[in-house]
Amino acid sequence: MALPPYDPKFTIACSVAGSEYDPEHDASESAAVVAAELISYARLAKKLDSVRTEYSARYLLDNIACHQCLTVSKCLDFALKNGIPKAEDWPRLGSTATKPPPSYKPDLVSMKGEVVEPEYLDEALELLKYQAVGAKLHVFTPHIELQQEAIYCGPSGEPAKYVGLRDGIIVAVEKIYGKSIATVKVWYKKQFVIVKVALSRGFFSEDIELTLLLVDFCVPRLSID
C-alpha cells in the first residue's frame, strides 16, 4: 500500500472510520522529550550553546509535580524557571536507573525567557524564522507509517484510522507545488520520525471540528541577557 500522490488543490477531507488506541503512548513522556529537544534547538539558535546539546527529558518527568498530565508548555515553563541538567548529568529516559537521591544536585543550566504559545499558524511560522517551533500533529494510520518521501496530508478519502495528537517540532518550511510544506519531527512510537506535512490541508469529523493538521504551537523564547 502507498499513499496517494500529493494533490496541491485538495484542501479539506471529511474524516475517517474509527480510531486506533496506542497503549504504549505516554503523553507526559512525549511532552518532556519534545520540550527538552526544543530547548536544545532554542539555545543553539540563540548561540547560548556553541554546539547542539542534549538536555534531560527524564529530569522533567522526575521533578515536575503531577507529571501524569504534563504538556510541552508546562515542561518548558518548569525548565525556564528552575533550570535543567544536560542529559549526561541525569539518568536516561527509559533506563532502569532509579531517580537519584535528594542529596544529588546536578549542574543545572539556567535560562531566562518565556514560553510563547501562538494561536495561529501564521504566528508560528513567523517565529520559525528564528527558531524551531513546538506543535501537535493530528496523526492517522497507516499514513504516518507510509509517509517516507511523500507529503503527509492526513486522510484523503482512503481507509484510515485516527491515532490522536502527537507532540512534534516544526524545523523548516518550504514550497512544493506552490504550497507550504513543513518538515516536522514527531514523537511517535517512542522515537522521532521526520514527516513532511501539508500546511494547507485540513480535515473534520463527527468528533473533531474543522482543523489544520498542525495545532497547539509553543516556543521557548530565550533571552541572551
d(CA 60, CA 48): 21
How far is residue 76's CA from residue 145's CA, in Å, rounded to a whole number? 29
- Give the side-chain half-sphere CA count within 13 A for 85: 17
Residue 2's pLDDT is what?
A: 66
Does 152 reside within a domain? yes
The label of the residue with cell 500546511 reads 199
For 206, the domain range is 13-222
Give pLDDT, residue 143.
Answer: 83
Give domain status of residue 168, yes or no: yes
Specify the higher pLDDT residue, 183 or 65.
Answer: 183
Grid cell 509535580 is found at 65
Mean pLDDT, rounded, of the chain: 90
pLDDT in tens, 24-50: 899 999 999 999 999 999 999 999 999
**Cα gap 184→194, rounded to integer Å:** 6
**CA 186, 113, 66, 95 torsion: positive or negative?**
positive
Task: Please indicate, yes or no, if residue 176 is contained in any of the structural domains.
Answer: yes
CATH code for the domain in which residue 73 is found: 3.90.70.10
pLDDT band at 15 (very low <50, low <70, confident <90, very high): low
Write out the H or E segment, with its range, that includes residue 12.
strand 12-14
pLDDT 10s digits, 173-187: 999 989 999 999 999
Residue 73 domain flag: yes
Q: Convert the pLDDT of each residue in 121-150 to its tens digit.
A: 999 999 999 999 999 999 998 888 877 678
4 domain residue, yes or no: no
Determine, yes or no, domain membership for 46: yes
What is the structure's pLDDT at 120?
A: 96
- Residue 149 has a pLDDT of 74
* Alpha carbons within 13 A on the beta-carbon side of 210: 5
pTM of the model: 0.93
Q: If pLDDT is split at 50, 70 and 90, which confidence band does 67 have? A: low
What does the pLDDT read at residue 181? 96
Mean local confidence (pLDDT), 70-85: 96
Q: Which of 89, 88, 92 is nearest to 107 (CA)?
A: 89
Compute φ and ψ for 87, nearest 5 degrees: -60, -30
Say what the pLDDT of residue 16 is: 56
Which of 14-23, 103-112, 158-167, 170-179 has the lowest average pLDDT?
A: 14-23
d(CA 139, CA 162): 6
Q: Which residue is it, cell 546539546? A: 53
Specify the number of domains making up the chain: 1
